[in-house]
Amino acid sequence: MYFIVVKFQTKPEYTANFMDLVTPFTTATRAEAGNLWFDWSRSVEDPAEFVLVEAFADDEAAGAHVNSEHFKAAMDTMRPALVSTPKIVSRKVEGNDWGDMGELQV
């Protein structure tokens, strides 16, 4: 699977409504056949920083995502709301779902 984490730094005037801005992108991506998850979080240290954790089943699914119309539209929609280019970690990893944390069992 492709496991991706992206950090977005928003401009002050967009921070409060950033999640509303990305809702169409989120909804469309979650509906993609190869999307495993697409989850947003907000930094506890910096309220203007949003973190996206996403995963796609395989090369085909990841390629379909970045070539989709909703992806292209989202890039245009988000650009004015951002302070800087988002930071990303994107890796192909083994597995197809979350696993249990070995160091902390409950």
The pLDDT, as a whole number, for residue 72 is: 97
How far is 71 from 96, CA to CA, in rounded Å?
22
CATH number among 3.40.225.10, 3.40.710.10, 3.30.70.100, 3.40.50.11810, domain 2-92: 3.30.70.100
What would the pLDDT profile of 41-61 be if each residue is shown by its tens digit?
999 999 999 999 999 999 999
* Residue 42 bridge partners (DSSP): 50
Specify the pLDDT at position 58: 96
Question: pLDDT per residue over 8-47, tens digit each?
Answer: 999 999 999 999 999 999 999 999 999 999 999 999 999 9
Domain boundaries, the chain: 2-92
pTM above 0.75, yes or no: yes
Cα-atom radius of gyration of the chain, to the nearest Å? Answer: 15
